Structure 1
Amino acid sequence: MSAVMTRGLLFVHSAPSALCPHVEWAIGSVVEKRTDLEWIPQPAAPGMFRSELSWVGAPGTGAQIASALRGWAHLRYEVTEEPSPGVDGARWSHTPELGIFHATTDVHGNIMVSEDRIRYAYESGAGDPTAVFQELSLALGEAWDEELEPFRHAAEGAPVRWLHQVG
């Protein structure tokens, strides 16, 4: 019987040059092989570098990569993990200012907000539409998207990475 595998992507949106080898070592410890990333200047943050990595591993590898990189000053990154049989997809976003955000995703990469999270937004809003809006915005990770969007656009000249269906 073959092991269930999934695919994912790591986008390091910005890292200072001194941190780049440490990022490679951290990723290598998760994927259990040496990782040499191609670092290119990040136009959205002069003096910073960006890189991408397509990975294949067991379900949960995305969480391990995100955890290995979590909390490093000046590091902005996103990790995605595609759904696999019996396992939802996921996305992790990290910025120095906001910390880490995690969301479950569907087969198209859309964030799925659970019924309990929506009920919490209604209850905590207590009839105040602004409070409900703020809770749903938090559940969707909008603050992380707003902060990372300039770094994503700065990568428009980067090679296209195609996602593949697993299973």
Structure 2
Amino acid sequence: MRTQLSGVLWIHSMPGPLQPHITWALARLSMPDGTKPGRDIWRATDQDATLCAEVPFTASADTIATLVDNLARWPRLYFELAQDPAVDDDGYAIDGMRYCHTPQLGTFAGQTDAAGNIVVNEDALRSIMARGGDIAGALDAAIGGPWDRVLEPMRMMTAGYAPEDCFTTSTPAGPDSASGNSTAGNADLGGVEAANVLQLYPRRAAM
């Protein structure tokens, strides 16, 4: 039997017409009470007629990876998924994971500790030091910094804050404020730096 992992999926922003398609994709998950996510999970964000949702779930690691891959294929979809650490039936530890996705940057995947902090392993750190160059920028990308700067205002709206409390300037750093087409291994920080960051909350502190 595959170990069932717990976690939370946050759909931070998506166009309304995607709702039936994403709801269908989420049917592979189970809510903690055993039910499937339905239409009642969605609410408006007050930003460009987009929708958001917070979905606690249980699922196998394979199901989670497949879901992340499927969601990443949809346009204008901004989401984040946190998978909690666990222990399998044989007593082996299963790492926590955090996935962040924006259309401009692609998908970030990082291992997390029990508190939800991103963990960068020794091999990755040695590789960054060996390459030299902009080490600070490489470390920032390794912990998902570019994704955090885009998603942070959306996280607050997903958590229920009013839009005026989520942005620090008169021009919100909304879903289309970042530019470029990057992946986790090659993040274009130029367009992302303009995003307003209020505070990078621990994984569930603001959710």
> Does the pair score TM above 0.5?
yes
SS at match of 2:79: strand
Taking the aligned partners of 1:63 and 1:140, their CA distance within structure 2 comes to 19
Q: Distance in 2 between matches of 1:143 and 1:71?
A: 20
Identity of aligned residues (%): 32
Aligned residues, how many?
152
Counterpart pick for 2:59 among 51, 54, 57: 57
Aligned to 1:42: 45
Tell me which residue corresponds to 1:84: 86
- Give the letter for the 1:117 counterpart: A
Structure with the larger helix share? 1
2:135 maps to 1:132 = yes
1:27 deviation in Å? 1.6
RMSD in angstroms over aligned alpha carbons? 2.0
Displacement of 1:25 in angstroms is 0.9
Structure 1 unaligned blocks of 5 or more = none
Question: Equivalents in 2 of 1:137, 1:90: separation in Å?
Answer: 17
Give the CA deviation at 1:17: 0.6
C-alpha contact 1:14 1:151 (8 A) present in aligned 2: yes
AA aligned opposite 1:93:
C
Q: Which runs of 4+ in 1 moved over 6 A?
A: none
The one of the two structures with greater contact order (alpha-carbon pairs below 8 A, sep at least 6) is 1
Whether the 8 Å CA contact 1:25–1:34 is kept in 2: the answer is no
SS in 1 for 2:115: coil
1:156 and 2:155 equivalent? no
Distance 2:105 2:149 in 1: 11
Cα offset for 1:71? 2.6
CA contact (8 A) 1:76 1:94 kept: yes
Q: The residue matched to 1:154 in structure 2 has which SS?
A: helix
Q: Note if contact 1:27-1:68 (Cα within 8 Å) is conserved in structure 2.
A: no
Contact 1:65/1:79, CA 8 A, preserved across alignment: no
Give structure 2 stretches of 5+ with no counterpart.
Answer: 88-92, 162-203
Instruction: Name the TM-score, length of structure 2 as normaliser.
Output: 0.68
